Structure 1
């Protein structure tokens, strides 16, 4: 679910991708000393620093290989990457979003890892989640999962206590597409206007809200609300893509989907959550200042909330369905090898080391900026952070209980995001009504077929 910034730039690369195939000639990354430099890119400054901690041990074990890690801002990253495919000087390996698997693999820009995996007898079972999402339609493995991410409820403990709620109350919340369940009831009660009236009390004034019960849920940056409201639907047995792998249609006009999205919009219209783009400050600042009582945030924010000065923040699982079960989407970024690299063997050595328990443990413990995909490394990070007072039990329980499901993989991701984003924005800003959803569904069917 760590894609809120990433999805905003997907559209910038859609046009470039159509001109990429067949343009690679492979850049030279050797030097006069006879050593080989492996270039690796990421859009995450935190992970760039974290993985830099693995470089000394790798270069000591492989003195003929040097590693250069480069971080580009997410707003430029994919444009630079696809331009590199065209000019033939893309990095040897790079961090990637599964959104681009179809485009890059379909155009021959990614090197399949199967031969390397077999040669080195790599046990894919060590990865807790994410490997299946990086298999292309040809059945080949094109990346190993680097991390995983999903969501949780972060809440201002003092504000919830004043409203009469305990930590157990938050952990036991549920949601349904019918009426929003106990989650919606809590959001309304936590909302307070300038006169001290709560959202579920007579006389509440939505025009003078002092504290919103929940941060905004009206994400527009991807085709199925992964960054905000999308997690609600699977918990009630609702799925927008008709298949988890290579969907043929997005069921936007399903009555339960329409009802769910309408509930989210009504929550903002009635003053219980801020409206889309109302706040420009980070979620953590909204919680710390008391502007909102709770937010839906990502796994990567856990350490930030734990270290928030002056505010006690609790962490709870995202509300379950009415039956108490969860099905939470998780996003696993992948480590791809560029098919145009002149040094694939040396690059594989670096990538396979990155994907080892030793490196993932070292990197994740350095700044706790990501949850490692290897279960043993995740345990090491959890133990370290527990000693520092950061509670990761919610996230580990997700894994242990089998509540995580991979994000859907589908064709034409960049173009679909480009097409659906303005339509969701129009809906959530009350410039369009539910009549747009049949059109969006038909449009998705056409675009998913075009991307094959």
Structure 2
């Protein structure tokens, strides 16, 4: 996974390809539940959960793992064709369209999942999976927040200390102390730093900040943390919104600053990273000294060979503190499963303390239940990794939810080329006002 758990693929509309031979839903009821997920790094943890569940119940969990792009293509095609897994890992930007098309089972219709208690999970995670019809379509499995990874050696070479990475400030006018640090960490081909006279922004060998790209409409790891810290949010309501707010000055000012970092030479321009940037390559090669990225990338970035990695909170903005996007995946059930009760028991187990503590003990992601996250904290600590910049955002309530609304694939299709055009420099941020009008017309036509 990368930015925004990577860019969402096209929606269900227009998909007609059938997938066969990949699921139990077309067969007779059995003691087998097919389960799909996309993250190879999490496969061992969920296999351990599957083994524990099978030992307790006699039900075999058959796990299939696909890469992000293949995952959504195969899953969407399978659901359209009446096939697919019994249970699968789901994303909040995807499930509204699945609900609209009747592809998901309301978990409150099953005995094993009809009494999910939101208080068992970090605040807000369970609420994200209540559909517009009041049904529950997912049980939380983990959560994401965003923090700053930094290269300690490059920091020292710049004459900075780890203390300089703490309590950073930011504003859309001059970038605050955060931009000061990025300028200092940027170096051109002649060895001149970004805050020194004679710096050449067109010939940079070390960027202060790595880039995840333009960020489409979510900006999860690219720009959302800065925009949120102005008090802005993507939509008029956090859950099931009907209006986007890209026409507001806070977001347009934030993005003018953010994309301006590339012009200044402090962040790689579009032509350097392209449409599918590899953040681990940028950070691991020393091309980027600092990287804003999600908690699911902790293991990846801290295991890069030859890089001594520190983690810090994102900078405090005009609201007076850092704000991170807060997102959580969940497990959903295919509405066409032949084994709904078995699938429900598996989903309930996936959302339990027992499974989430198993997952946490692998030190890959941060589970949705506090006990699971405590296990993850311990696992990371044993490797010398302090993940508190990711967990403090949740503990202090300094978060804003991933935008949850219908028409996700259509919003993506509108916003992606506009954001990339601004990043490249072909349009300025005023283009967001026109894009916002197009987006909001989708909801007006509902």
TM-score (norm 2): 0.92
Is 1:192 the counterpart of 2:191? The answer is: no
Is 1:359 the counterpart of 2:355? The answer is: yes
Is 1:342 the counterpart of 2:341? The answer is: no
Question: Structure 1 residues 82 and 403, CA, compared in 2 at 3 Å: closer, same or farther?
Answer: same
Unaligned runs of 5+ in 2: 19-23
Q: Which one of 24, 49, 73 corresponds to residue 44 of structure 2?
A: 49
Question: Structure 1 residues 54 and 434, CA, compared in 2 at 3 Å: closer, same or farther?
Answer: closer
Report the alpha carbon displacement of residue 169 of structure 1 after superposing the two structures with TM: 1.8
Preserved CA contact (<8 Å) 2:230 2:317: yes
Report the alpha carbon displacement of residue 446 of structure 1 after superposing the two structures with TM: 0.9
Is 1:253 the counterpart of 2:252? The answer is: no
Report the alpha carbon displacement of residue 122 of structure 1 after superposing the two structures with TM: 4.1
Q: How does 1:83-98 map to 2 (within 5 A)?
A: 83-98=77-92
Moved more, 144-153 or 396-405: 396-405
Partner of 2:382: 387
Partner of 2:56: 61
The count of residues paired between Structure 1 and Structure 2 equals 440
Is 1:308 the counterpart of 2:304? The answer is: yes
Question: Structure 1 residues 238 and 217, CA, compared in 2 at 3 Å: closer, same or farther?
Answer: farther
Whole-angstrom CA distance in 2 between matches of 1:112 and 1:219 = 35
Partner of 2:196: 201
Q: Which one of 99, 108, 113 corresponds to residue 107 of structure 2?
A: 113
Partner of 1:327: 323
Question: Structure 1 residues 12 and 100, CA, compared in 2 at 3 Å: closer, same or farther?
Answer: closer
Partner of 1:27: 26
Partner of 1:22: none
Is 1:397 the counterpart of 2:396? The answer is: no
TM-score (norm 1): 0.90
Whole-angstrom CA distance in 2 between matches of 1:434 and 1:322 = 20
Preserved CA contact (<8 Å) 2:232 2:251: yes
Question: Structure 1 residues 6 and 173, CA, compared in 2 at 3 Å: closer, same or farther?
Answer: closer
Whole-angstrom CA distance in 2 between matches of 1:297 and 1:214 = 11
Preserved CA contact (<8 Å) 1:54 1:354: yes
Preserved CA contact (<8 Å) 2:105 2:335: yes
Partner of 1:244: 238
Q: Which one of 137, 143, 146 corresponds to residue 141 of structure 2?
A: 146
Is 1:443 the counterpart of 2:438? The answer is: yes
Whole-angstrom CA distance in 1 between matches of 2:385 and 2:271 = 30
Q: Spell out, residue by residue over 1:7-60, the C-alpha distance to the aligned partner (whole angstroms, 9 max, x if none).
A: 53422644339x9xxxxx952254xxxx42111111222223321111222112
Whole-angstrom CA distance in 2 between matches of 1:29 and 1:152 = 47
Report the alpha carbon displacement of residue 285 of structure 1 after superposing the two structures with TM: 3.3
Q: Spell out, residue by residue over 1:358-397, the C-alpha distance to the aligned partner (whole angstroms, 9 max, x if none).
A: 111212323x222111111110121122122121122222
Preserved CA contact (<8 Å) 1:14 1:415: no
Question: Structure 1 residues 117 and 296, CA, compared in 2 at 3 Å: closer, same or farther?
Answer: farther
Is 1:170 the counterpart of 2:170? The answer is: no
Whole-angstrom CA distance in 1 between matches of 2:98 and 2:11 = 15
Preserved CA contact (<8 Å) 1:143 1:335: yes
Report the secondary structure of 1:336's partner residue: strand
| CA RMSD, 1 decimal | 2.5
Whole-angstrom CA distance in 1 between matches of 2:239 and 2:114 = 28
Unaligned runs of 5+ in 1: 20-24
Whole-angstrom CA distance in 2 between matches of 1:323 and 1:258 = 17
Moved more, 276-285 or 157-166: 276-285
Preserved CA contact (<8 Å) 2:3 2:212: no
Whole-angstrom CA distance in 2 between matches of 1:211 and 1:125 = 45
Q: Which one of 406, 431, 446 corresponds to residue 411 of structure 1?
A: 406
Preserved CA contact (<8 Å) 2:359 2:372: no
Partner of 1:4: 3
Preserved CA contact (<8 Å) 2:188 2:201: yes
Preserved CA contact (<8 Å) 2:143 2:326: yes
Moved more, 372-381 or 155-164: 155-164
